[in-house]
Structure 1
Amino acid sequence: MAIDIKKSQDVYKDAGESIIFTTLMLKKDDLKRDQEVIQEFSDLSNSIINSMRIRQDPQPISVAWGFGSNAWDYLLPNAPKPKELDNFQEIKGPKYTAISTPGDIFIHVRAQQMSVCYELIEQFMGILRPITTVEDETHGFRYFEGRSIIGFIDGTENPAGVESMDYTLIDSDEDAEFVNGSYAFAQKYIHKMNDWNGLKTEDQEKAVGRHKFNDRELEDDEKLPNAHNIVSKDEVDGVENKIVRMNVPFSDPAQNITGTYFIGYSKTFTITNRMLTKMFTESDRLLDFSTPVTGSLFFIPSKDTLDKIIDGEYYI
């Protein structure tokens, strides 16, 4: 079965102007009730999104949501499971660790206005709040010129438009039961902005591997050996494997808390995991200024899979 963008959730490159990431934990007080609420949410969430698109036309709205491994096992014990859905295993490097943190339900909303993100999450939580607690909620924003909070253009090497579907959507060769689904890896970083801003521009460029102003890539001999765009690249037999990644700035500036929420969508988590492993085992220079405080893997179901949940097929 071929991939079909019409049957997928919004897992393409679209960072948005305003963004909310929400990670929830199931209370697990009553399995039958929890299953009924998730059925209801699977059914109503699309209507809520469509209604908001009408209300906000022509402004774009993008939403993706899904399940962590433990939530899938709990809610759908008799269902097949996406082949690569598991709890993220921490990656311990010589200097830094990509930690693993819990998450049962993950929601990623982006829109032009924060009021739209608010309205969507508020309506979603009207359904989910009775059966969940909040593990993390992060409000992000688009920085000037689409730059990351550390000042560099974000997503230059991302696959664009329809091409991104080839990198994010599962096809029948990978997992026939879950075609048009996707894996989402979410990782929240807190930055040492004073230290980063204390570097000379040319030293920042060597750390990232690109020119700060015009975004051109540096020559290899100009980069540090552990420059970010070297150690975050996944290449097998001379072929570069890609994912769709978004680095979303967030900040509480009065409290001197500033960071990046990284979300990576892919058709196979293996590629993302290799990128992370290389970053942490080779001590990506950016990690000297960026500390991961979360790390969770989720499966983003296709609309066909959500229909099976709505109809109760996976509960039998």
Structure 2
Amino acid sequence: MAYWIDLDELALRQYIDAMAVFEACEAARSRVDAFSGGMLWRTSKGHEYLIQTSSDNRQRSLGRRSAATESMYEQFVTGKRTAQDRLRALRQQMAIQYRMNRALRVGDVPALLERILSAMDRRRLHDQVVVAGDCALFAYAAQAGVRLCAPPNAGNVPAPLSLHLWAASESAKDLAFNALRAADKSFIVRQVTRDRLEATNAQGVTVEIRHDTQIAALVAPPGPLGLRKFSTAVVTATGRMARMTAIPPTQYIMDAFHQAARMDLTPAQSALYAWRARATQRLVECSLPHWGEAMETGPRPT
């Protein structure tokens, strides 16, 4: 049984090249962020002082004008300009990579999912929110250099985009919903409980955002492999890229088999969950071997 199709050599090479530029762009943006705010000179009581401003308009004095504060000012201005120039150049290179991705048919991620991931990225949520459910399969396939096949004999089970997000805190859950609205303003809240929020957009796409204290284990500093988040860049059919931080494949496999055993599902729905679980299990064994040991050992969040 074929669970996936390997990307051809040109597409795989393009993904590797695009990933290198993408990660360089991420690093450059982090460097620009380190220079957020600004510095300026202000005169008070006949003396000039170097003032540092933050992005939220807070200000603090770094001292009277001197050789030391002038050096601080020059280093900041020069460093910020250099970082901005590098980021600008890399974004131009990224635009080229997007076109190459599209030409070589590197990815198949839905455009809406990319917009949601990008909106979360702008809010720096990768350390607070992880993708769960079937959308996580896009991350596993991307890193393995494959494209998952459609499940055989899936029956008439509808397959709209259904995104599950696990948030490590209540505030992160709220920020994730803000990211949804930034990606598509038609998202409205359909159901809310203390630890769960469900939203649907005008096209019927459903997103569930769940907050659970155990999820914090996935976004904590690296621990046992079975508890580490899975992070890579995914590619849309139009070539655009976004970082997806997902639950580890071991967690997905366990969850999918659990869903397949539910008594309230139709046989076709149960078969679909079981097929995806087996496909991911096989993908780990063949293409993500460093996750293989975690399939047998280590605690997992529930």
Above 0.5 in TM-score? no
Alignment TM-score, normalising by the size of structure 2: 0.29
Question: Which is richer in strand?
Answer: 1
Alignment TM-score, normalising by the size of structure 1: 0.28
